[in-house]
Amino acid sequence: MSSGFVKTADGTEIYFKDWGPKDAQPIHFHHGWPLSADDWDTQLLFFLANGYRVVAHDRRGHGRSTQVDTGNTMDRYAADASAVVEHLDLRNVVHIGHSTGGGEVARYVARYGQPQGRVAKAVLVSSVPPLMLKTASNPEGTPLSVFDGFREALAANRSQFYLDVASGPFYGFNRPGAKVSQGVILNWWRQGMMGGAIAQYQGIKAFSETDQTDDLKAITVPTLVLQGDDDQVVPYKDAALLQAKLIRNSTLKIYPGFPHGMLTTHAEVINPDLLAFVKA
Which run of H or of E encompasses 151? helix 144-167
Which pLDDT belongs to residue 145? 97
- Category of 115 on φ-ψ map: left (φ > 0), alpha (ψ -120 to 50) or beta: alpha
Cα 242 from Cα 110, distance rounded (Å): 17
Which pLDDT belongs to residue 57? 98
DSSP 62: S
Residues near 164 by beta carbon (within 8 Å), at least 6 away in sequence: 153
Residue ranges of E strands in the chain: 3-7, 13-19, 26-30, 53-57, 93-98, 119-125, 223-228, 250-255
Cα 205 from Cα 211, distance rounded (Å): 11
* Cβ–Cβ < 8 Å for 146, 199: no
pLDDT at 152 over 80: yes
Q: Which residues are known to be catalytic?
A: 99, 231, 260
- Classified as helix, coil or strand, 120 is strand
Verdict on whether the full-model pTM lies above 0.95 = yes
Q: Using one digit for the tens of pLDDT, what is the confidence trace for 85-130? A: 999 999 999 999 999 999 999 999 999 999 999 999 999 999 999 9
Q: Using one digit for the tens of pLDDT, what is the confidence trace for 34-75? A: 999 999 999 999 999 999 999 999 999 999 999 999 999 999
For the domain covering 1-279, report its CATH number.
Answer: 3.40.50.1820
- Residue 189's pLDDT band, with cuts at 50, 70 and 90, is very high
Judge residue 126's burial from the number of C-beta atoms within 10 Å of its C-beta, 0-12 exposed, 13-18 middle, 19 or more buried: buried
